[in-house]
């Protein structure tokens, strides 16, 4: 179950940024600014995807868990699923 | 795009301007702003140039305009805010403008002087009136009480009845004189003492203060004055008293001898003051009218005079060809704009009604042209921050189009807060929406202008900060829980690891990811919100952010190295690809690329089950250099062998980088014939053949030779100097290799600043806002308002302004040093096209 949600997340986000970086640039109309806009789109998608990827991979296999105060634990026990 | 990536292709052109239409043509060219003129008279002194008189006239006009603007500002007249851009007027109109300006100056000067004189007069009359008014009360006092009361400062209430009044004195026949006037209040005591010492009782001084502040006629400042009346016997005493009065800068006025005379004088003064008021009003009105008339056209004149001066300055740069009665100018201009240039010259010729048109010719040159980037309002900001470090050489790869995204991104990595990013983006968005508002554009405030010029940069920074704030899960130091946390506390209870009694006993308990159900999977968007509640939050975040910084740094630097291939390919130095680019890339990737690989490997392979023996990547990395693969257990089978292989490749690439290029060039130069190496501008060489042919054909038509007039420098045949090249390459190698290590570490500032920002944000919340939210009583609600105000002020000033300036600076440094020194050459010339 956890695996499935991870796979879904991974594929959705990868597809999203691949769309922005790979497909949308094909539709930018020809003009003096086409080159700049395409560069911007590709760089944005690469940077943002990489940043998200690092964040999720760092948490994939945690080596240590969060250390919570007992008040927080008491609250979370009843209020979080 | 190629324009922004590399810069425009430029060419050197010669303009032949007919002397009659030279002025108009240059005016047209100036409006377009496409050409950079070369100085064809470099040896001529500024004061010996041809049009120096006209320039002197322009400067005189500028001086008068400056004076007019000051006068208009003093009169508080608002200047019209139209966006004016008048064309430079013809030379014959220049004299008319000059005359107008001189006339205005003279008029304004006269009227101002008159006004000052009248004002001075008015003040004197007012003082006289006051004086009369006050001395009347002196005399009235004597009529009421018999003896004239003299008050000395030491004995304020002493009454002496020895002094006789005016009438009795006259009966005595003594020559009684009166001196009356005004003196400053601070000087009255010293004055009195001096009088007493000098005249030894033969004078009587009575004085009293004037209630209101009177303006001093000379300085115009309001001062407190005392009216005094000195009565004395004898002429000599009179002279002494007059000298003393001069000494103390008293304003003396004639004292009326009788009451009737006094009344007459008062009446006369009243009418005179009224008249003066009216005249003064009229003068001020006239002054205002003149200023208003001037203000209507003053801005137009300012711009026109500037343009005239610029045109004459350019004309001074051209050389005069006596035989052809035309001016010759050499300009650098973009190749694509030569038709526009031609059209401008035609327009100019037509406007001046010249018979022979002026024209432009392209000429070959081996000089390096200036660099031009065509930018719009969005890209100009980013181009400016790249240019601030140095303008690139002609046709070198321009980092600016990449900087548009990577700079705000690296800024956002250091700034990463959703709330702060939102505020920044809104502020920038407001500036962008109102960018055409003239008031915003034309303020004189330097700091505001800097922010306004960078409004698109700030907008991008804000938008990226919103994204990184979302990933860091940090919004005003609080986390958002959109998808549900991946950590479950309940599972610790159901697995019987924690019992309810534990909650009362201990203060902090740590979740264990090894237990099933505790860790359900990574949070889909960013950092899990549970970390915001954890006390060991920084342990996890520091490890994450440090690794992130290294990964981003290595990728950024590799991108920089790859960009250098563009330069190598464009400047036709293919050997650079194999001898410089390949060793550089191998060195970087074998060492630091492998580090990045290890980071990802550890993230993917090691989980909580192995947490006890999870390896430290740093130790493995150090061991790799020391070739000690046996001391710690390997990450994966074959690690030792692979690491040795990578280190060997990296070490081997250093001598290739050091020696490869010099040896190859030496072999090329001494193995084959001497090849002349042209620096830089190679494209024109190819075109120059056909150009030379055209020029020669043109020559025969025109009957003159151009080669005398062109000032392009001769082709330099570069002698190959092995020692020089080797030294250059050695410096480059050392710089690159040491730089790789230090620059990778330098990217850790991404971690450091984002940590500082997060901590500051948290402290602000805990110390300010939470204090306000925790007071429970009704007063607490009111208390919350100033607390929120303080929170907002501190957030904006510390976190938004100070932190963002700091992150901006560091992101800029990362670009200028770590990124650009991988490919950006040292700029040769700083010519920027006007």
Q: Which residue has the higher pLDDT, B191 or B157?
A: B191
The verdict on a CB contact (< 8 Å) between A67 and B508 is: yes
Q: Which of A9-13, A31-35, B503-507, B620-624 has the highest mean pLDDT?
A: A9-13
How far is the CA of B560 from the CAs of A57, B565, B599, in angstroms? 25, 9, 22
Tokens 């405030």 label which residue?
Answer: B445
Q: Kindly indicate the confidence band of residue B697, based on its pLDDT and cuts at 50, 70 and 90.
A: very low
ipTM (interface predicted TM): 0.96
Residue B197 has pLDDT above 80, yes or no: yes
Residue B326 has pLDDT above 80, yes or no: no
Residues of A in contact with B474 (CB under 8 A): none
The verdict on a CB contact (< 8 Å) between B487 and A66 is: yes
Is residue B43 exposed (0-12), middle (13-18) or buried (19+ Cβ within 10 Å)? exposed
Q: Which residue has the higher pLDDT, B125 or B412?
A: B412
| Residue in A35, A54, A63 nearest the CB of B611 | A63
The verdict on a CB contact (< 8 Å) between A54 and B518 is: no
What pLDDT, in 10s, does the model give residues B787-805?
889 999 999 999 899 999 9
Q: Which of residues 606-645 of B touch A (CB under 8 A)?
A: 606-608, 611, 614
How far is the CA of B668 from the CAs of B329, B568, B654, B664, B672, in angstroms? 41, 17, 22, 6, 6
- Per DSSP, which regions of B172-250 are E strands? 176-184, 203-209, 214-215, 222-223, 225-233
Q: Are strands B176-184 and B251-253 parallel, antiparallel or unpaired?
A: antiparallel
Q: Which of A62-66, B669-673, B823-827 has the highest mean pLDDT?
A: A62-66
What pLDDT, in 10s, does the model give residues B96-124?
888 888 888 898 888 888 888 888 888 88
Question: Is B166 within 8 Å of chain A by CB?
Answer: no
Residues 6+ apart with CB under 8 A from A41: A20, A21, A24, A25, A28
| Residue in A35, A55, A60 nearest the CB of B527 | A55
Q: Kindly indicate the confidence band of residue B166, based on its pLDDT and cuts at 50, 70 and 90.
A: low
pLDDT average, residue stretch B38-46: 78
Quick one: pLDDT at residue B717? 43
The verdict on a CB contact (< 8 Å) between B471 and A80 is: no
3-state secondary structure B544-583: HHHHHHHHHHHHHHHHHHHHHHHHHHHCCCHHHHHHHHHH
Residue B830 has pLDDT above 50, yes or no: no
Quick one: pLDDT at residue B703? 41
Nearest CA in chain A to B527: A55
Residues 6+ apart with CB under 8 A from B813: none
Question: Is B751 within 8 Å of chain A by CB?
Answer: no
**N-terminal to C-terminal alpha carbon distance within chain B:** 21
Q: Kindly indicate the confidence band of residue B677, based on its pLDDT and cuts at 50, 70 and 90.
A: very low
The verdict on a CB contact (< 8 Å) between A51 and B555 is: no
The mean-pLDDT minimum among B168-177, B350-359, B626-635, B803-812 falls in B168-177
Q: Kindly indicate the confidence band of residue B523, based on its pLDDT and cuts at 50, 70 and 90.
A: very high
Closest by Cα among B182, B195, B183 to B150: B195
CA B697 – CA B703 distance, rounded (Å): 10
* 8 A C-beta contact, residue B255 and residue B241: no
Mean pLDDT, chain B, integer: 81
Residues of A in contact with B487 (CB under 8 A): 65-66
Closest by Cα among B502, B546, B569 to B745: B546
Residue B150 has pLDDT above 50, yes or no: no
Residue B750 has pLDDT above 90, yes or no: yes
The mean-pLDDT minimum among B153-157, B274-278, B467-471, B796-800 falls in B153-157
CA B105 – CA B231 distance, rounded (Å): 50
Residues of A in contact with B511 (CB under 8 A): 65-68
Which candidate in B379, B464, B522 is best for mutational testing of the A interface (most A CBs within 10 A)? Answer: B522
Quick one: pLDDT at residue B215? 73
Question: Is B482 within 8 Å of chain A by CB?
Answer: no
The verdict on a CB contact (< 8 Å) between A52 and B471 is: yes
The verdict on a CB contact (< 8 Å) between B525 and A52 is: yes
Residue B569 has pLDDT above 90, yes or no: no
Q: Kindly indicate the confidence band of residue B719, based on its pLDDT and cuts at 50, 70 and 90.
A: low
What's the token pair of residue B186? Answer: 């601070």
Q: In this structure, what are the phi and psi dihedrals at residue B371, rounded to the nearest 5 degrees?
A: -95, 135
**H or E segment and range at residue B332:** strand B326-334
Closest by Cα among B556, B546, B547 to B410: B556
b/e B184-197 (16+ beta carbons within 10 angstroms → b): beebbeebbebbee
The verdict on a CB contact (< 8 Å) between B512 and A65 is: yes
What pLDDT, in 10s, does the model give residues B328-386?
888 888 888 888 888 888 888 888 777 777 778 888 888 888 888 888 889 989 999 98
pLDDT average, residue stretch B141-168: 44
Quick one: pLDDT at residue A24? 93
Angle at which helix B379-387 crosses helix B400-415, to 10 degrees, equals 90
How far is the CA of B694 from the CAs of B331, B351, B713, in angstroms? 19, 29, 20
Q: What 8-state DSSP symbol labels residue B45?
A: -
pLDDT average, residue stretch B526-551: 93
Q: How far apart are the CA of B490 and the nearest CA of chain A, in angstroms? A: 5
Q: Which residue has the higher pLDDT, B807 or B514?
A: B807
What's the token pair of residue B312? Answer: 């004459």
pLDDT average, residue stretch B612-618: 78
Per cent of chain A over pLDDT 90 is 60
The verdict on a CB contact (< 8 Å) between A74 and B503 is: yes
What pLDDT, in 10s, does the model give residues B467-503?
999 999 999 999 999 988 888 888 888 887 887 777 7
pLDDT average, residue stretch B295-319: 83
Quick one: pLDDT at residue B208? 81
Nearest CA in chain A to B2: A35
3-state helix, strand, coil in chain A (%, to 5): 75, 5, 20
Q: How far apart are the CA of A41 and the nearest CA of chain B, in angstroms? A: 9
- Angle at Cα B584 formed by Cα B582 and Cα B588, nearest 5°? 115
| Residue in B468, B508, B611 nearest the CB of A69 | B508
CA B338 – CA B526 distance, rounded (Å): 53
3-state secondary structure B347-394: HHHHHCCCCCCCEEEEECCCCCCCECCCCCCCHHHHHHHHHCCCCCCC
* 8 A C-beta contact, residue A55 and residue B526: yes
| Residue in A3, A51, A77 nearest the CB of B493 | A77
Q: Kindly indicate the confidence band of residue B512, based on its pLDDT and cuts at 50, 70 and 90.
A: confident
Residues of B in contact with A3 (CB under 8 A): 521
CA B176 – CA B659 distance, rounded (Å): 112
| Residue in A9, A54, A63 nearest the CB of B608 | A63
The verdict on a CB contact (< 8 Å) between B510 and A65 is: yes
The verdict on a CB contact (< 8 Å) between B511 and A67 is: yes
Q: Which residues face B183 on adjacent strands?
A: B226
Nearest CA in chain A to B471: A52
Neighbours of B636 (CB within 10 A): 9
Quick one: pLDDT at residue B217? 64
Which candidate in A62, A69, A77 is best for mutational testing of the B interface (most B CBs within 10 A)? Answer: A62
Quick one: pLDDT at residue B708? 39
The mean-pLDDT minimum among A50-54, B252-256, B279-283 falls in B252-256
**Whole-prediction pTM:** 0.77
Quick one: pLDDT at residue A71? 86
pLDDT average, residue stretch B307-326: 80
Nearest CA in chain B to A50: B552
Question: Is B457 within 8 Å of chain A by CB?
Answer: no
Quick one: pLDDT at residue B145? 44
Residue B831 has pLDDT above 60, yes or no: no
Per cent of chain B over pLDDT 70 is 86
């Amino acid at each position: 179950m956890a695996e499935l949600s991870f796979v879904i997340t991974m594929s959705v986000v990868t597809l999203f940024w691949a769309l922005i970086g790979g497909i949308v640039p094909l539709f930018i109309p020809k003009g003096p600014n086409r080159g700049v806009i395409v560069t911007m789109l590709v760089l944005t998608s690469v940077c943002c995807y990489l940043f998200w990827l690092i964040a999720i991979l760092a948490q994939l296999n945690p080596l240590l868990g969060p250390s919570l105060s007992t008040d927080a634990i008491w609250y979370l026990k009843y209020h979080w699923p | 795009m190629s324009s922004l990536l590399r810069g425009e292709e430029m060419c050197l052109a010669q303009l032949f301007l007919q002397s009659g239409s030279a002025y108009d043509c240059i005016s047209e060219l100036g409006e377009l702003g496409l050409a950079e003129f070369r100085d064809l008279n470099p040896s001529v002194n500024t004061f010996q140039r041809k049009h120096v008189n006209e320039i002197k006239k322009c400067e005189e006009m500028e001086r008068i305009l400056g004076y007019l603007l000051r006068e208009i500002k003093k009169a508080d007249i608002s200047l019209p805010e139209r966006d004016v851009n008048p064309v430079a007027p013809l030379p014959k109109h220049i004299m008319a403008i000059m005359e107008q300006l001189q006339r205005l100056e003279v008029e304004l000067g006269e009227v101002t002087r008159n006004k000052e004189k009248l004002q001075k007069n008015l003040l004197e009359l007012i003082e006289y009136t006051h004086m009369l008014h006050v001395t009347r009360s002196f005399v009235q006092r004597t009529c009421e009480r018999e003896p004239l009361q003299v008050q000395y400062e030491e004995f304020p209430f002493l009454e002496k009845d020895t002094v006789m009044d005016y009438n009795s004195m006259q009966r005595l026949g003594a020559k009684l004189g009166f001196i009356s006037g005004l003196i400053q209040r601070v000087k009255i005591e010293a004055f009195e003492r001096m009088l007493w010492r000098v005249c030894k009782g033969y004078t009587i001084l009575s004085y009293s203060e004037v209630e209101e502040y009177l303006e001093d006629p000379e300085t115009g400042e309001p001062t407190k004055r005392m009216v005094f009346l000195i009565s004395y016997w004898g002429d000599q005493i009179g002279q002494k008293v007059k000298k003393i009065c001069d000494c103390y800068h008293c304003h003396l006025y004639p004292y009326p001898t009788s009451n009737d005379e006094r009344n007459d004088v008062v009446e006369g003064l009243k009418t005179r003051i009224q008249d003066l008021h009216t005249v003064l009003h009229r003068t001020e009105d006239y002054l205002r009218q003149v200023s208003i008339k001037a203000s209507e056209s003053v801005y137009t004149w300012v711009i026109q005079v500037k343009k005239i001066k610029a045109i004459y300055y350019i004309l001074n740069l051209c050389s005069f060809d006596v035989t052809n009665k035309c001016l010759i100018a050499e300009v650098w201009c973009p190749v694509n704009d030569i038709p526009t240039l031609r059209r401008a010259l035609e327009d100019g010729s037509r406007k001046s009604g010249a018979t022979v048109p002026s024209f432009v010719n392209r000429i070959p040159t081996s000089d390096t042209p200036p660099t031009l980037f065509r930018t719009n309002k969005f890209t100009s900001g980013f181009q400016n921050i790249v240019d601030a470090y140095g303008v690139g050489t002609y046709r070198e790869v321009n980092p600016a189009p990449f900087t548009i995204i990577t700079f705000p991104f690296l800024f956002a990595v250091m700034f990463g807060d959703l709330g702060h990013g939102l505020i920044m983006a809104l502020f920038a968005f407001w500036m962008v929406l109102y960018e055409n508002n003239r008031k915003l554009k034309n303020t004189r405030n330097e700091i505001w202008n800097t922010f306004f010029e960078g409004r698109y940069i700030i907008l991008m920074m804000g938008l990226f900060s919103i994204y990184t704030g979302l990933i860091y899960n940090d919004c005003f130091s609080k986390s958002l829980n959109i998808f549900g946390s991946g950590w479950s506390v309940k599972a610790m209870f159901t697995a019987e690891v924690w019992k309810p009694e534990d909650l009362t006993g201990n203060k902090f308990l740590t979740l264990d990811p090894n237990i099933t159900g505790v860790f359900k999977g990574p949070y889909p968007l960013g950092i899990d919100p549970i970390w915001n509640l954890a006390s060991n939050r920084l342990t996890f975040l520091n490890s994450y952010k440090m690794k992130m910084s290294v990964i981003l740094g290595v990728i950024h630097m590799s991108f920089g190295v790859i960009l250098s291939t563009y330069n190598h390919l464009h400047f036709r130095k293919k050997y650079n690809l194999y001898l410089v680019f390949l060793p550089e890339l191998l060195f970087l990737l074998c060492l630091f690329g492998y580090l990045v690989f290890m980071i990802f490997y550890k993230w993917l392979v090691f989980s909580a089950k192995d947490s006890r023996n999870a390896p430290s990547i740093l130790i493995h990395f150090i061991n790799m250099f020391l070739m000690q693969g046996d001391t710690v257990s390997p990450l994966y089978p074959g690690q030792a062998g692979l690491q040795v292989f990578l280190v060997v490749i990296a070490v081997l690439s250093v001598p290739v980088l050091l020696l490869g290029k010099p040896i190859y060039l030496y072999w090329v130069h001494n193995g084959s014939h001497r090849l002349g190496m042209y620096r830089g501008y190679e494209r024109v060489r190819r075109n120059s053949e056909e150009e030379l042919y055209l020029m020669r054909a043109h020559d025969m038509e025109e009957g003159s030779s151009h080669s005398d007039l062109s000032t392009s420098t001769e082709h330099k045949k570069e002698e190959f100097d092995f020692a020089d090249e080797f030294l250059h390459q050695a410096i480059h190698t050392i710089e690159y290799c040491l730089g790789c290590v230090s620059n990778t570490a330098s990217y850790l500032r991404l971690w450091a600043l984002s940590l500082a920002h997060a901590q500051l944000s948290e402290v602000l919340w805990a110390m300010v806002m939470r204090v306000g939210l925790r007071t429970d009583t009704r007063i607490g609600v009111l208390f919350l308002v100033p607390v929120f105000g303080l929170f907002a002020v501190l957030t904006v000033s510390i976190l938004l302004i100070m932190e963002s300036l700091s992150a901006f600076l560091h992101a800029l440094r990362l670009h200028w040093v770590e990124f650009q020194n991988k490919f950006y050459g040292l700029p040769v010339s700083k010519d920027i096209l006007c």
